[in-house]
Amino acid sequence: MDWDKLRIFHAVADAGSLTHAGDKLNLSQSAVSRQIRALEESLNATLFHRHARGLILTEQGELLFDATKSMAKRLDAAAARIRDSEEEVFGELRVTTTFGFGTLWLAPRLTALYQKYPDLKVDLMLEERVLDLPMREADVAIRMKEPSQADLIRKRLMTVEMKLYATRAYLDSAGVPTDISDISNHRLICQNTSAAQVGASAVLAQHLLAYNPASLLTVNNYFGILQGVLNNLGIGVLPDYVTQDFPDLVHVLPEIKSSEVPVYLAYPEELRHSQRVAAFRDFVQDEIIAHRKQLKELGIL
């Protein structure tokens, strides 16, 4: 089979659209369509069902797509290993994590990584969707649960709890709650319980909402919740790792907290010897050690 036609087939199958695949490949829709027809003729098989909403793989197309996915995975892994120097850290590293952890904890600490490895290029992908590491959607993931995908090297980094925080200015104005029932006298800032988030956070929010807060602000990420809290809007449900960088936040109702949420770092087995991955892994572990040390000094741990 023609390797170039297989590459185009893979892009079309992945995108589900001739137009989107053409955009990705910098080819016209007609050129992509011709290549797919030629591939189907060479195989004497129909690879796609065509309908108004796009393309759906036939059974034969699914078989071929499974093969091209495996090829793409192996080629990406080989390219990554070729790019990696045994002695230097350079090139692009694609890191995925949640929006909250990425904006509030990871991004502010990347200065230390760049100072040590100025030639490293980090592509930080922040989303709640779990990217497929074995299929090389990202090189490294930091997630709030143990990854279930096979062929991954994983390391438990720390645990996180969701707790209640407010500013001193807000508490001076609205009063300090002494019991969970006092939530009825305050504005609660939290994620909507139907928003994409870790289950422990949603459970805590549901528990608090049962006490009928006087006012409510819901935001679909922790960065927005933090901004509301810092601007004296109310009491916010936030992960406890914010206490290191925002020590002026007041922890209210300390007995109210979520269950522990494990934080894992994971990467594909193929990148075991990647210098870029090792540099990032060591950087994150060093920062977590420093994080825990500071929390102990603050009397939080």
Rounded-to-integer distance, Cα 161 and Cα 300, Å? 12
pLDDT digits (tens, 9 = 90+) for 183-221: 999 999 999 888 777 788 899 999 999 999 999 999 989
pLDDT of residue 97: 94
pLDDT of residue 150: 76
Average pLDDT rounded to a whole number, residues 116-129: 91
Tell me if 192 sits within 8 A of 220, measured CB to CB: yes
Q: Which residues contact 208 (CB under 8 A, 6 or more apart)?
A: 180, 183, 188, 190, 237, 256
88 has a pLDDT exceeding 70: no
Rounded to two decimals, what is the model's pTM? 0.70
143 has a pLDDT exceeding 60: yes
114 has a pLDDT exceeding 60: yes
pLDDT digits (tens, 9 = 90+) for 232-284: 999 999 999 988 889 889 999 999 999 999 999 999 988 888 889 999 999 99
1 has a pLDDT exceeding 80: no
Rounded-to-integer distance, Cα 234 and Cα 109, Å? 27
Task: Please report which confidence band the pLDDT of residue 105 belongs to, taking 50, 70 and 90 as the band edges.
Answer: very high
Q: Which residues contact 89 (CB under 8 A, 6 or more apart)?
A: 117, 119, 120, 275, 276, 279
Rounded-to-integer distance, Cα 164 and Cα 101, Å? 17
133 has a pLDDT exceeding 90: no
Mean pLDDT computed over every residue of the chain: 89
Task: Please report which confidence band the pLDDT of residue 87 belongs to, taking 50, 70 and 90 as the band edges.
Answer: low
pLDDT above 70: percentage of residues in the chain? 96
Helix (H) or strand (E) holding 163, with range, is strand 162-166
Task: Please report which confidence band the pLDDT of residue 81 belongs to, taking 50, 70 and 90 as the band edges.
Answer: low
Task: Please report which confidence band the pLDDT of residue 112 belongs to, taking 50, 70 and 90 as the band edges.
Answer: very high
Compute CA distances 41 → 31, 34, 37, 50, 177, whole Å. Answer: 15, 11, 6, 16, 73
- CB atoms inside a 10 Å sphere around CB 71: 14
pLDDT digits (tens, 9 = 90+) for 31-64: 999 999 999 999 999 999 987 777 899 999 999 9
159 has a pLDDT exceeding 70: yes
Domains of the chain: 3-85 (1.10.10.10), 91-158+263-298 (3.40.190.10), 161-260 (3.40.190.10)
* 102-106, 222-226, 246-250, 269-273: the lowest-pLDDT one: 269-273
161 has a pLDDT exceeding 70: yes
Q: 87 vs 56, which has greater pLDDT?
A: 56
Q: What is the DSSP string of 56-97?
A: EE-HHHHHHHHHHHHHHHHHHHHHHHHH--SS---EEEEEEE
Rounded-to-integer distance, Cα 93 and Cα 106, Å? 14
Average pLDDT rounded to a whole number, residues 108-128: 92
pLDDT above 90: percentage of residues in the chain? 63
